[in-house]
Amino acid sequence: MCLFQSAARRLLPQLRCGLKASSSKKQKFGLEMARPSSNMADFREVFAKAKHITIITGAGVSAESGVPTFRGAGGFWRKWQAQELATPGAFARNPSRVWEFYHYRREVMLSKHPNPAHIAIAECEKRLSKQGRSVVVITQNIDELHRKAGTKQLLEIHGSLFKTRCTSCGNVAANYKSPICPALAGKGAPDPDTEDAAIPVEDLPQCEEDGCNGLLRPHVVWFGEALDPGVLTAVEKELDICDLCLVVGTSSVVYPAAMFAPQVSARGVPVAEFNMEPTPATNRFRFHFPGPCGTTLPPALARHETEIIS
Binding residues for Zn(2+): 166, 169, 207, 212
State the binding site.
58-77, 102, 105, 140-143, 166, 169, 207, 212, 249-251, 275-277, 293
Q: Which residues are annotated as a binding site for NAD(+)?
A: 58-77, 140-143, 249-251, 275-277, 293
| Residues facing 136 on adjacent strands | 54
3-state secondary structure of 275: strand
Extended beta strands in 38-125, E state: 52-57, 76-77, 80-81
Q: Which of 118, 158, 219, 288 is catalytic?
A: 158
Whole-number Å distance between alpha carbons of 155 and 70: 22
Q: Distance (Å, rounded) from C-alpha 22 to C-alpha 86?
A: 22
CA 82 to chain centre: 15
CA distances, 137 to each of 36, 119, 189, 251 (Å): 23, 12, 32, 17
Amino acid in the structure at residue 23: S
Residues making up the annotated binding site for substrate are: 102, 105
Q: Are 53 and 282 in contact (CB under 8 A)?
A: no
* 146 catalytically annotated: no
Residue 220 backbone dihedrals phi, psi, to 5 degrees: -130, 155
Query: End-to-end CA distance of the chain, in Å?
Result: 39
Under DSSP, the state recorded for 180 is: S
Catalytic positions are: 158
